Structure 1
Amino acid sequence: MSRISLGRYGFSVEVRDDDSHLAAALTVEGLGFGTLWLNGGQLDRLDRLTDLLAATTTAVVGSAIIPPDRYSAAEVSELFARAEADAPGRLMVGLGSSHRPRALTLLGDYLDELDAVPEDRRLLAAFGPRALAVARDRFAGAMPMLFTAQRTAEVRRVLGADRTLSVGLYVVLDEDPATARATARRPLQFLTAMPQYRKSLERQGFSPDDISGISDRLVDTLVAWGGPRHVLDHAARLHAAGADHVQLNVLGADGQPTGVAAARLLAAEFG
């Protein structure tokens, strides 16, 4: 299988109601980020992805993720056809699994209707053994997040050398432990309540207290907070463990850089 190159680093774009994120995305692309990602909560409509493709010139645009319970295989196929017509080779379709019972069976049925999107242009947000097997067999690879370097290495062995492994990494550009951790805990409060994330964290050796209390240990291990060099050192450990690509998802509160400002700080450390 040929693999689309996502580049070493990706950057999550925050959608703005005034569409100012489109100009920002062009700037971020120019800083050297290989892929621009739109997180699932930003995908109130699928053409957010084609808007981003039209606003940029070279970067891959990826969905992280398209929820199959919300968008049908026919809608995603139509999206892909439009993207290929207007920006060939630049859309990566990141999918999640259903939240309904028999999720992987439903995913298999969904993929049977998604033949218009070739395997090498889709990634699965996979965490556990069964989902990772589906990512290996029916996708270009996997796009998990909240992974340690050790877990990244384990998943690389499961996927094999010919599959893409994109690891999502939360980032807080703040060197103050209290405020950095407080910002990091915001999305973790939601994610640690989801069964697939709890199981993934348990597999990685975090205790129930670590997970329920979102302990400092959990935050410090899974979230890259601090200065830009520290963040890219964290990403480098994921690369060394087997990640092809690290998606930098920058979080921020008052005084913490986000958006283009954060992208500039991080890009200055590339090399």
Structure 2
Amino acid sequence: MALTTHLGTIGLWSAGLRTDDPTRLGEIADAAAELDELGYSALWIGGNPSMAQAAHVLAATDRVAVGTSILSIWQHEAADVAAQYAALAPGLRERFVLGLGVSHTALAEQYARPYSAMQAYLTALDDAPVPLPAGQRVLAALGPKMVRLAAERAAGAIPYLVTAEHTAKARELLGPDAFLAPEVKVVLDTDPSRARRTAREFLAIYLPLPNYTNNLLRLGFTEEDFEDGGSDRLVDALFALGDDTAVRARVNEFLAAGADHLAVQVVLPHGRQQARTLARPEWRELAQALPL
């Protein structure tokens, strides 16, 4: 089954679904089961999740697809990933999507020749005793070369921290058939100043990373847009700010630009936004607002 059919239109992105803390496994399983019942078609586990963490979410759910967004090729050996994929029960394996990325120089000491490294990683997945199929893997592709590779050697692309304009450009590069599922950040706050402040607090961890800023420069933003936490123009392009109506409008903008599926991430005010946060009230609100 093609990912465009299997993954539906709206997924939920959360780093909070990732943990190695055994005391939190029950909490995460309960949240994942509720998200499955709410009707999200995919759960994207953020923050370089392991296969074991993905397997836990798979086991806690019955219907929803589960993807890694993203698993760093520098920190997880391809042979190990393929072996852990092979060890999944067949029913769980069918619902799994491997999202791969090259991460960033600041986060991976061995970072070098990322395009070639990704090619080699995909070849290792192909050559494993139980190959992890191209149709079940997607790339966190930003630049043109990686986007094309996503169409050639994977099911498609899952770009992070992008605009609707990037989605339109990626669709042109991917062609009509490859899967395209950008991540979309949402701040559910109808006070514009406060919503932008929340967005800027969150954006601060990404603006020092050249892979993201170089991509934004290609889209027409300038160095000035990265100053002081990000210009209004930048923040408004990268985040859906406001109420349910504003979120639906942004979702429709990405879909009109060529996205097949959206991985929606709820961004919370600084006091609540932590890597382990499960934004369950906001996830329920979005489930009522979006076409699940």
- Provide the TM-score with structure 1 as the length reference: 0.93
Q: CA deviation at 1:8?
A: 0.6
**Worse overlay, 238-247 or 146-155:** 146-155
The answer as to whether partners of 1:40 and 1:67 remain within 8 angstroms in 2 is no
Residue aligning to 1:163: 178
Kindly report which structure 2 residues correspond to 1:35-54, keeping only aligned pairs within 5 A, or say none.
35-41=42-48, 43=49, 45-54=50-59
2:116 corresponds to which of 86, 105, 112:
105
Q: CA deviation at 1:258?
A: 6.1
CA distance, structure 2, for counterparts of residue 30 and residue 92 of structure 1 = 19
CA distance, structure 2, for counterparts of residue 88 and residue 101 of structure 1 = 31
Given the alignment of the two structures, is residue 29 of structure 1 paired with residue 36 of structure 2, yes or no? yes
Given the alignment of the two structures, is residue 120 of structure 1 paired with residue 135 of structure 2, yes or no? yes
1:65 corresponds to which of 63, 70, 75:
70
Q: CA deviation at 1:74?
A: 1.0
CA distance, structure 2, for counterparts of residue 89 and residue 258 of structure 1 = 26
Change (3 A) 1:194 1:78: same
Residue aligning to 2:199: 184
CA distance, structure 2, for counterparts of residue 229 and residue 97 of structure 1 = 35
CA distance, structure 1, for counterparts of residue 116 and residue 290 of structure 2 = 41
Residue aligning to 1:81: 86
Listed one character per residue, the Cα deviations across residues 196-250 of structure 1 (whole Å, up to 9, x for unaligned) are: 1111101111111102331111111110111122112101110011000110111
The answer as to whether partners of 2:13 and 2:183 remain within 8 angstroms in 1 is no
Given the alignment of the two structures, is residue 241 of structure 1 paired with residue 261 of structure 2, yes or no? no
Equivalent position amino acid for 2:11 in 1:
G
The answer as to whether partners of 1:201 and 1:211 remain within 8 angstroms in 2 is no
Equivalent position amino acid for 1:149 in 2:
A
**Worse overlay, 58-67 or 19-28:** 19-28
Q: Which runs of 5+ in 1 are unaligned?
A: none
CA distance, structure 2, for counterparts of residue 237 and residue 258 of structure 1 = 26
Listed one character per residue, the Cα deviations across residues 108-156 of structure 1 (whole Å, up to 9, x for unaligned) are: 1111111111111000000111111111111101110222222211110
Q: How many correspondences in the alignment?
A: 269
Listed one character per residue, the Cα deviations across residues 17-67 of structure 1 (whole Å, up to 9, x for unaligned) are: 4221210111111111100010025x2x43110000000000000000000
Equivalent position amino acid for 2:133 in 1:
P
The answer as to whether partners of 1:229 and 1:266 remain within 8 angstroms in 2 is no
CA distance, structure 1, for counterparts of residue 202 and residue 135 of structure 2 = 30
Q: Please provide the CA RMSD for this pair.
A: 2.0
Residue aligning to 1:56: 61
Given the alignment of the two structures, is residue 263 of structure 1 paired with residue 283 of structure 2, yes or no? yes
Equivalent position amino acid for 1:264 in 2:
R
- Provide the TM-score with structure 2 as the length reference: 0.86
Equivalent position amino acid for 2:285 in 1:
L
Q: CA deviation at 1:190?
A: 1.8
Listed one character per residue, the Cα deviations across residues 150-186 of structure 1 (whole Å, up to 9, x for unaligned) are: 2211110110111000010111111112221222123
Q: CA deviation at 1:255?
A: 7.7
CA distance, structure 2, for counterparts of residue 270 and residue 126 of structure 1 = 26
Given the alignment of the two structures, is residue 200 of structure 1 paired with residue 212 of structure 2, yes or no? no
2:225 corresponds to which of 204, 210, 214:
210
Q: CA deviation at 1:187?
A: 3.2
Equivalent position amino acid for 2:73 in 1:
P
The answer as to whether partners of 1:250 and 1:258 remain within 8 angstroms in 2 is no
